């Protein structure tokens, strides 16, 4: 387990952009073979309701993150940014790195460090760690962009996964600032990589005609070019590792859970978050859990998306906040940070007029 402590680093801005098209579970029920009774049960138990996706196949995660970044730069000077990190599973191209293209689109200049990280549900924590590390090494300011066009890899007939997934891209500005500290714990376990995977399209299983063929499984229909999720294994993994991870974080940071103002977790689904809340004996007011219900599971953007969606007015005064992400890899991580006077405007759709 990696444990890291940082001093004098601050999150100054968080902006999130969702897909521009809202779809409801009722509108998509026929794709999954759901009847009215099943829809009602899934809405109550899992939190299925609506999600936001992009309306055009040509809209990329980078486009959502660029919009979020431009809002950041209405408030902050982009000339201070010395690195751009892009965490995504849906880059513009297989090569080159999308972060380099984004830095050019944003006019950040050719002295900026820019690179991609291929992670999903835990990606915000790992990306934040990278940003903190770069600033700890001497950089002034880092722009962290996170998110996915999840509708790109979730097949429309996959009733196990697709009703959960939303499209979003966030931009987070991290700066050198006296008096703001952060503590991180992180893990990874590749023995469970097959529980959440896109089987085809990489070097191990190259794309072929077979990759595009529909295949019927117990929990839906998908192709080998789409994301597969073993829901039972992922649920068991989450319930096993997340409570233990919090114990490790609290011990390392020398704090108690009662000192935490908010727990902002990856918004996998409402059922998982409710189970974590019970196991940790946390007041539900401290752990928002409606992001997936309204916007969909936003992968690495779900933590910043939750802040912009539900906590946008909470960080004018100092708050102690725990972030935690868990999922693909398998990978999981958490951190506790101080947030104060953070620019967190309300979440917006792509191309939505302000």
Would you please indicate which residues are annotated as catalytic (active-site) residues? 121, 266, 297
Contacts of 121 (CB under 8 A, 6+ apart): 266, 268, 299, 300, 302, 325, 326, 327, 328, 331
Asked if the model's pLDDT at residue 305 lies above 70, the reply is: yes
Asked if the model's pLDDT at residue 226 lies above 70, the reply is: yes
Q: What is the distance between the alpha carbons of residues 79 and 218, in angstroms, rounded to a whole number? A: 52
The mean predicted confidence, pLDDT, of the chain is: 94
- The angle, 0 to 180 degrees and rounded to 10, between the axes of the packed helices 36-45 and 25-32 is 120
Beta bridge partners of 324: 265, 334
Q: Where do the domains of the chain lie, and which CATH numbers do they carry? A: 1-354 (3.40.47.10)
pTM: 0.95
Share of the chain above pLDDT 70, in %: 99
The dihedral sign for the CA sequence 134, 83, 323, 346: positive
Tell me the average pLDDT across 71-75. 97
What digits encode the pLDDT tens for the residues 249-276? 999 999 999 999 999 999 988 888 998 9
Helices and strands in the chain, H and E counts: 9, 15
**Per-residue confidence at 328, pLDDT binned at 50, 70, 90?**
very high
For 281, phi and psi rounded to 5 degrees?
55, 50
Give me the pLDDT at residue 354, please: 65
Place of tokens 């935490």: 260
Contacts of 227 (CB under 8 A, 6+ apart): 153, 154, 161, 196, 197, 198
Tell me the average pLDDT across 155-161. 90
Asked if the model's pLDDT at residue 339 lies above 70, the reply is: yes
Give me the pLDDT at residue 1, please: 60
Give me the pLDDT at residue 295, please: 96
């Amino acid at each position: 387990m990696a444990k890291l402590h940082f001093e004098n680093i601050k999150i100054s801005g968080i902006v999130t952009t969702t897909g521009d098209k809202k779809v409801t579970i009722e509108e998509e029920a026929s794709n999954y073979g759901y009847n009215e009774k099943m829809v009602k049960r899934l809405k109550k138990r899992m939190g299925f309701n609506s999600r936001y996706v992009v309306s055009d196949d040509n809209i990329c995660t980078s486009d959502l993150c660029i919009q979020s970044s431009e809002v950041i730069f209405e408030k902050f000077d982009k000339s201070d940014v010395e690195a751009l990190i892009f965490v995504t599973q849906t880059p513009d191209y297989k090569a080159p790195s999308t972060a380099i293209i984004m830095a050019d689109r944003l006019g950040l200049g050719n002295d900026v460090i820019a690179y991609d990280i291929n992670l999903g549900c835990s990606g915000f924590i790992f990306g934040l760690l990278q940003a903190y590390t770069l600033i700890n090494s001497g950089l002034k300011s880092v722009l962290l962009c996170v998110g996915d066009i999840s509708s790109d890899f979730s097949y429309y007939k996959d009733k196990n996964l697709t009703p959960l997934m939303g499209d979003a891209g966030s931009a987070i500005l991290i700066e050198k600032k006296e008096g703001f500290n952060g503590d991180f714990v992180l893990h990874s376990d590749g023995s469970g990589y097959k529980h959440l995977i896109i089987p085809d399209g990489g070097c191990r299983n190259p794309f072929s005609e077979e990759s595009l063929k529909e295949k019927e499984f117990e929990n839906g229909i998908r192709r080998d070019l789409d994301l597969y999720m073993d829901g039972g294994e992922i649920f068991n993994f989450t319930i096993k590792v997340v409570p233990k991870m919090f114990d490790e974080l609290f011990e390392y940071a020398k704090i108690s859970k009662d000192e935490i103002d908010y727990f902002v977790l990856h918004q996998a689904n409402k059922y998982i978050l409710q189970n974590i809340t019970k196991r940790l004996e946390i007041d539900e007011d401290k752990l928002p859990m409606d992001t997936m219900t309204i916007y969909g599971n936003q992968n690495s953007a779900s933590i910043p998306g939750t802040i912009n969606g539900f906590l946008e007015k909470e960080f004018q005064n100092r708050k102690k906040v725990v972030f935690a992400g868990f999922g693909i890899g398998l990978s999981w991580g958490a951190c506790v940070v101080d947030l104060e006077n953070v620019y967190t405007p309300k979440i917006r759709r792509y191309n939505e007029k302000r």
